[in-house]
Amino acid sequence: LIGFVIGLPVLLWVLVLFSVTLYLLGLFGRLLLGPVIGQDMLSVCGEPDGMMDFDDPDCKVHYMYGEEFFGTLTMSCFTSFRFMLGDFSSRGGKSLLVAFSHGYGNIFRIFFVWWMIIVIFGLFNIITAIFVDRTTTGLKFNELKRKYARQYERTYVCNKLKSLVTRVNDLRKLHQRGLTRLRSLSARGGTFPPFGAGALRDDILVDFELDEEDFMLVLEDMEVQGLLL
């Protein structure tokens, strides 16, 4: 699904290119195989599928098929599209190629062979290559962005952890200096505010293990809160 979404813009451009190509082919088919002005063999001779004589001078089968399947530009474009897909049958299941080949001879055969080579090995392969290349490039680009995002997240988290450990270590050092001062004042008989509320344990961060109370005290530090954002 992701690949289809990535290739959708290119697919739309391919559709435009294919539509223009199909229009040109339909136009050529209408001019070369379609009826001339005033031709109306279908109303005179009937359906071409019922004609058994391809050499009837008054009801030429290839002219009748041209009138039926290339009579208008819209019908000519649709018939050209059917030819691209390999469908050359008439309404009754007769082969249009046989009728056109018999009626127009080598000119039609040579033109049709070259046309099919260009369409099958040229146009379709180009369309497929463009779509596949764009889809593959888009998937690689998305994967590269995800890779960079993972690397950035990993680096970001590592930097945050380093800063957090540094800050907690600074808190430990401040606490140790406070304990040293408390012991010094106590030895001289002085007084010092109790180290109860808002103080860390004496052995905190020796092995960087915190109980719930110490952990909450660390989280109350403004710099630690900034690092965790």
Residues 116 and 186 in one domain: no
Would you say residue 201 lies in a domain? yes
Distance CA 188, CA 176 (A): 19
Residues 24 and 97 in one domain: yes
Nearest residue to 69 (alpha-carbon basis) of 97, 105, 45: 97
Domain count, the chain: 2
Contact 171, 200 (CB under 8 A): yes
Contact 44, 51 (CB under 8 A): no
Residues 133 and 174 in one domain: no
Domain around 183: 154-228
pLDDT over 50 (residue 151): yes
Residues 96 and 131 in one domain: yes
Confidence of residue 143 (pLDDT cuts 50, 70, 90): confident
Would you say residue 38 lies in a domain? yes
Task: Look at residue 210 in the predicted model and tell me its pLDDT.
Answer: 55
Residues 131 and 37 in one domain: yes
Confidence of residue 194 (pLDDT cuts 50, 70, 90): very low
Task: Look at residue 178 in the predicted model and tell me its pLDDT.
Answer: 61
Confidence of residue 27 (pLDDT cuts 50, 70, 90): very high
Residues 100 and 43 in one domain: yes
Domain boundary among 83, 105, 139: 139
Q: pLDDT, tens digit, for every residue of 56-73? A: 878 888 889 999 999 999
Note the pTM of the prediction, 2 decimals: 0.54
Contact 131, 7 (CB under 8 A): yes
Contact 217, 200 (CB under 8 A): yes
Contact 39, 63 (CB under 8 A): yes
Q: How many residues make up the chain in this entry? A: 229
201 vs 6, residue with greater confidence:
6
Lowest mean pLDDT among 4-13, 123-132, 192-201: 192-201
Would you say residue 53 lies in a domain? yes
Task: Look at residue 79 in the predicted model and tell me its pLDDT.
Answer: 92
Distance CA 62, CA 60 (A): 6
Task: Look at residue 189 in the predicted model and tell me its pLDDT.
Answer: 55
Would you say residue 125 lies in a domain? yes
Residues 111 and 35 in one domain: yes
Residues 166 and 132 in one domain: no
The helix, strand and coil proportions of the chain, stated in percent and rounded to the nearest 5, come to 75, 0, 25
Tokens at residue 201, please? 């344990």
Residues 46 and 124 in one domain: yes
Domain boundary among 139, 167, 194: 139
